[in-house]
Amino acid sequence: MTVCQLLEVSQKTGSGRRPSRLAASKRKKRTFRRAALEEGFVAFCQLSSEAEPVQIALATMESLKAEASEFIDSVDFSSTTAERDILGDEFLDKCAPETAKRSAKRLSLPSHLASLCEEQLLTPDQERRLFQRMNYLRYRAAQIVSRHAAEEFLDQWDTERVRGLLRAANWYRDCIVKANVRLVISVVKKFCNSQCGFDDLLSDGIMALMRAVDKFDYQLGFRFSTYATQVVRRNSYRFVMDKQEERFKVSNSISEKGLDVAEDIEPSSMNEQRWNSLRDHLQNLLCKLDRREKFIIRARFSLGGHRRVQTLQKLADRLQISKERVRQLEKRAMEKLSAMAIESPPELAECDL
């Protein structure tokens, strides 16, 4: 159940049906001074807990403090009018996401990507308000935690309202992320190659985007896209370099094992002996893979009868599986080869490559 649905349900059911423990706690410990905000917040805590059942039992201070401390502070947050100026009368402002979706366009992309790009770009004002509300809600959660810094645990209601504030902050964060997914796509597609697939780069880029949202200081006056582009680009470059380093280590491990075998058997005729030993050892390792893994590795690295490196899509068509499944099988096979290369060289076995 989405946040918007939760709020609609709360309006229909009314406040009289809240659990008595929440109602009693609400009278003792208010989170917001404004009545409309407090009522919406308590309903959100109740209904989101029902939609996503979790064990509320006493939470440790360390875990909540760590999660609540990740916010960009502002002098506006300590103002006596912060609730009214930042949140208004509505606990979660549904206006920005709904406005964004009204003019969404279907792009010339696969369906699973087009659905990610339907959100319209945020205006500077919308962007600033979303960042401000996200950080303000985390600030309020940190305030509750800090008031009990000397204690080891929070009571049940404090735990629920801290989690409620953090869930609401993450809702605003998701609004920002959705509006910037097409930025990630435009950056990571430039880093695609035979070793780094688009889906992997996109997944890693979105994770980098989420971290960028948490670290961005909206008060400096720059647009988030300027900062996020650099973060995603740097992250994609690091991702590609890590992949290349991983493949180099696998190749180097196999080469070193082959060289050691050649030197132990016959010190003379170094070049020919090394090559033959390396080839035999590689064949032996490939024999330990299953049929599809061996076929994919040979095709991807132009081994055996394969004269050209085959693309993932071509292998997917040959094997009648998805492109992503071919990538997963290749990754699994490379991990097996890496593990076997690190171990002692096994006895050579005849294998028909």
Question: How does pLDDT run across 294-336, given as a tens digit for each residue?
Answer: 888 888 877 766 667 778 888 888 888 888 888 888 888 888 8
What pLDDT does 253 receive? 66
* Range from 13-22, 186-195, 247-256 that averages highest in pLDDT: 186-195
The conformation of residue 85, written as its DSSP 8-state character, comes to I
The answer to pTM > 0.75 is no
Do the Cβ atoms of 32 and 89 come closer than 8 Å? no
Which runs of consecutive H residues, i.e. helices, occur in the chain? 3-13, 20-28, 35-51, 61-68, 82, 95-102, 111-114, 124-146, 156-179, 181-188, 198-215, 224-265, 270-287, 291-300, 312-319, 323-342
Question: How does pLDDT run across 143-196, given as a tens digit for each residue?
Answer: 888 887 767 677 778 888 888 899 999 999 999 999 999 999 999 989 988 788
Between 40 and 13, the higher pLDDT residue: 40
Q: Two tokens at 99?
A: 């406005």
* Amino acid at position 329, single letter: L
C-alpha pair distances (Å), 288 with each of 67, 304, 305: 45, 16, 19
User: What is the torsional sign of CA 250, 253, 256, 261?
Assistant: negative
Q: Two tokens at 40?
A: 């919406």
Longest dimension (CA), the chain: 90
Q: Please, which pLDDT band fits residue 63 given cuts at 50, 70 and 90?
A: confident
